[in-house]
Amino acid sequence: MKKGADLSQLFILLAKLWDYPTNLSPETKEVLEKLHEDLGLSTSEEAFSIKDEELREEYTRLFINTPLGVPAPPFASVYKGGGLLCQKPMEEAMAFYRRAGVGPASENEPADYLPLELAFVAYLLTEGKTELLREFLNKHLLSWFPLFREALLKAQPHQFFVALVSLTEALLSKLNEEVSA
C-alpha cells in the first residue's frame, strides 16, 4: 500500500465516521486506538467501547434532531453563514469540488457537510492535488472546523466524539503543516 493511499484512506475513514457511524466494527475500533497511540493523543477508555445503540443516540443528539436544537450541526454554513444551512460556505465548498472535477455523490446532504469535505481531502490526496488541497484547507475547511469542534465539545459529547474530533483535528493540522511547508 502506498503511503499516499494511507493518508487518503485515513480521511475516508474519518468521513465515514462523521457520517453516522453505525456498527463500529472491532477492526475500526482497532484502527482508531492505534491512530491515537501513533499520534500521541490521550483518550479515555470508554471512547471506543461505546455501544452501537448509544452511538446512534448520541450522534442523533449532537448532529440531527434534539430538544433545544442540535449542538453541533456538521455543516460549514452553520458556523460561517449566520447559523443557517446552505449559505455561502456551501457554494464555496461546491466551487472547490468543481475545480477538482468532482461533486457530492448524493444530493442528500448539502455540499458543506463535514464528511463530504473530509472525503474531498481524501480525493485531493489520492490525486496529488496539493495546491488545491492547501487552498481548500486554508480558505475553507480550517476556517470552520475549529468552530465546529468548539461547539461539539461544549455539548459534553460521549468520549467517542471527543476522540474523533481530536483525531480529526490532529490529522487536519498535520496535513495543513505539511501542505503549507
Partner 1 sequence: MKRRDFLKLSGATCLALASLELDNRFLRRLEAAEVSELPGSLGAKEIPSVCDMCFWRCPIIVKVKNGKIVKIEGNPKSPTNGTRICARGNAGIQAVYDKDRLKYPLKRTGARGEGKWARISWEEALDEIAYNIKKVKEKYGVHSLALFDHGASAGFFREIFEALGTENFSNEPAFFQCVGPTILAYLFTYGYQAVDPAKIDFENAKAILLVGSHLGENVQVSMIKSWITALEKGAKLIVVDPRFSVAAGKADLWLPIRPGTDMALLLAWMNYLIEKGLYDKDFVKNYCEGFEEVKEAVQGYTLSWAAKICDLPERDIKKAIEILAEAKPHVAIHPGRHTAWYGPQDVQRHRALAILTALLGAVNVPGGMYFPTKPHLQKAEFLELEEDHEVEPPEESLKEDIPFANIFHGSPTDCIIKATLTGEPYPVKLWGVCGVNLLQTIPNPYQTIEAIKKLDFIFTIDIMPTESSFWSDIVLPDATYLERYDRLYVCKENKCYVALRQPIIKPMFESRPPFWIAKELAKRLGFKVRFKDEVEYLNHQLEPLKLDVEKLSAQGGIAVFPAKPFRDKEDLSFGTDSEKVELYCEAFEDEDFDGVPKFIPAPAPPKGYVRLIYGRVPVHTFAKTMNNLWLNHEWPENKLWVNDKLAKQLGLKDGDEVILENQDGTRSDPIKIFVTPGIRPDAVYLAHGFGSRSPMMTRAYKKGVSDTFLMTHYENDPMMGASSHRNNFVRFIKDGKVINIPELRPVPPEIPRFELKKSA
Q: Which of residues 150-169 bind partner 1 (CB under 8 A)?
A: none
Secondary structure letter of residue 46 according to DSSP: G
Residue 66 beta carbon to partner 1: minimum distance, rounded to whole angstroms: 7
Residue 106 beta carbon to partner 1: minimum distance, rounded to whole angstroms: 8
The only residue of 23, 42, 65, 156 in contact with partner 1, by rule CB under 8 A: 65
Mask of contacts with partner 1, 89-128, x by CB under 8 A?
A: -xx--xx-xx--xxxxx-xxxx----xx--xx-xx--x-x
Residue 169 beta carbon to partner 1: minimum distance, rounded to whole angstroms: 14
Please tell me the distance from the alpha carbon of residue 85 to that of residue 112, in angstroms, as a whole number: 9
**Torsion over CA: 91, 122, 39, 48 (sign):** positive
CB-based contact 42:160 (threshold 8 Å): no
* Run of H or E including 159: helix 159-180
Q: Please report whether residue 149 would count as binding partner 1 according to CB under 8 A.
A: no
Residue 133 beta carbon to partner 1: minimum distance, rounded to whole angstroms: 8
The only residue of 49, 130, 139, 154 in contact with partner 1, by rule CB under 8 A: 130
Q: How many residues lie near partner 1 (CB under 8 A)?
A: 74
CB-based contact 142:136 (threshold 8 Å): no
Q: Please report whether residue 41 would count as binding partner 1 according to CB under 8 A.
A: no
- Kindly report the backbone phi and psi dihedral angles of residue 65, in degrees, each rounded to the nearest multiple of 5, phi listed first: -140, 135
Contacts of 57 (CB under 8 A, 6+ apart): none
Stretch that binds partner 1, among 25-33, 43-51, 136-144, 153-161 (CB under 8 A): 25-33
